[in-house]
């Protein structure tokens, strides 16, 4: 298993409960195939440019271990989740 870091930007128009549900959904999804080491909710930040007519986003950083095959599935689910505006997943070097 490799170590990864994934940053997602959640639509800021979601209520606090909706944001918690998205974070819980992806924490559980990652724990199903790997192990979440840390979830850091950075909060609302101004974006460098507008995304889907929003100038702010809610940032969340996941640090986790998973199998390399799982990353493609995780990113596919990021893409089809309407509340996620942008994401990036990188492999961390040991």
Residue that the structure tokens 């909710």 belong to: 41
Tell me, what's the pLDDT at 85?
93
CA 56 to chain centre: 16
Q: What is the pLDDT of residue 33?
A: 87
The pTM assigned to this predicted structure is: 0.88
The stretch 43-61 carries a mean pLDDT of: 91
- Structure tokens that stand for 45 in this block: 């930040």
Taking alpha carbons only, the member of 63, 62, 57 closest to residue 84 is 57
Its sign, for the CA torsion 38, 44, 48, 54, is positive
């Amino acid at each position: 298993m490799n170590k990864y870091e994934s940053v997602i930007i959640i639509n800021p128009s979601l209520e606090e409960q909706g944001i918690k549900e998205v974070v819980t959904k992806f924490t559980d999804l990652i724990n199903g195939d790997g192990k979440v080491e840390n979830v850091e909710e950075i909060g609302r930040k101004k974006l460098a440019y507008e995304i889907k007519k929003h100038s702010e986003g809610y940032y969340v950083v996941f640090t986790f271990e998973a199998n390399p095959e799982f990353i493609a599935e995780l990113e596919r689910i990021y893409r089809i989740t309407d509340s996620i505006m942008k994401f990036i997943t990188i492999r961390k070097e040991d």
